[in-house]
Amino acid sequence: MTPSWRKPVGAFVIIALILIWCVAVASLSRIVGQWPALVQMVFYVFTGIVWILPLKPLLRWMETGRWGLPKG
């Protein structure tokens, strides 16, 4: 059985997504830093969780070669 090329490509995409997301959130720090502390906390908790959403289809593609769930 030959190894799949999808896993290394998927790992690279995951790392790229994390880096892009970190830069995007960090670029907002000047604006977010002016908000009340509780609102900042909610913002950073939300942005710390929301980056995980695109990972499920990506991980499914890495394992199966399909983006969506199988029909049937």
49 vs 3, residue with greater confidence: 49
- Token pair of 14, please? 């995951």
Contact 31, 41 (CB under 8 A): no
Reported as a single tens digit per residue, the pLDDT across 29-48 is: 999 999 999 999 999 999 99
Alpha carbon 66 to chain centroid distance? Answer: 18
Which residues 6+ apart lie within 8 Å of 37 measured at CB? none
Helix, strand, or coil here: 22? helix
Q: Is the pLDDT of residue 72 over 70?
A: no
Q: Is the pLDDT of residue 64 over 90?
A: no
pLDDT of residue 67: 78
HSE, side-chain direction, 13 A CA sphere, residue 4: 10
